[in-house]
Structure 1
């Protein structure tokens, strides 16, 4: 989580007064085993542990607001792209294995909207238009 902590520190300088919370639920991990055509990444048990943890993050953080809430609220999550891709697939009710087909740049912005009636809309996925091209990178190949 070193990169996530560094990114959080960098962003928080521009958002004074915003509370920072760290959680292991959003820690990097592959939630579903990679395709057989790709060499194995980890033992099978690791995928089960990662999926349970990341699934818990989904249930903990991705939900409609309390019915008594009267104003919009915003949450900023800074975590690894694997976690973001998996959670977006789950939020949109796509097959969770779809995360393997998504590729995001590091430091990108994803904007998910959950309306009071439960309707979900993905407004932005992996936007890096705010970055200089030299800062816009993806560390591993698909």
Structure 2
């Protein structure tokens, strides 16, 4: 369990919502640190694929997706995910990033789908 991946709002979204601004400063820095810790290029000497499984709140996942794809991170709240869904990001040693899957929840029965 990594404390950096705890839930909260990573950055003030655009368009803005009502939220405590001090949360963005405290939690945003923590979530950005988690991004830098977990989402990065593979080592150029790496010869085999590696997979990291990260289980965390959808706010963190949405922020990671925006940052990894070099989209404006303030757009994180525009992305919607079901709880328990799967997102798959591929990062090549060259730095090329691909979003293979986002919010896949087809394995969850429709009556069990939830969002927060």
TM-score bracket for the superposition, by shorter chain length: over 0.9
Q: TM-score, normalised by structure 2?
A: 0.93
1: CA distance between counterparts of 2:45 and 2:83?
A: 36
Partner residue, 2:10 = 31
- Indicate yes or no: 2:41 matched with 1:64: yes
Structure 1 length-normalised TM: 0.76
Uncovered stretches (5+) of structure 2, i.e. residues with no partner: none
Shift of 1:137: 1.4
1:54-109, CA deviations, whole angstroms, 9 ceiling, x for partnerless residues? 10011111011222221100000000000000011000000001101011000000
Structure-1 separation of matches of 2:98 and 2:12: 27
Q: Distance in 1 between matches of 2:27 and 2:64?
A: 13
Q: Return the structure number with greater relative CO, CA threshold 8 A, min gap 6.
A: 2
Match of 1:49 among 17, 26, 47: 26
- SS of 1:50's equivalent in the other structure is helix
Paired residues in the alignment total 115
Instruction: Give the 4+ runs in structure 1 shifted more than 2 A.
Output: 33-36
Q: Which residue of 1 aligns with 2:63?
A: 86
User: Where in structure 2 are the equivalents of 1:1-142 lying within 5 Å?
Assistant: 22-34=1-13, 35-36=15-16, 38=17, 40-42=18-20, 44-139=21-116
| Max Rg structure | 1
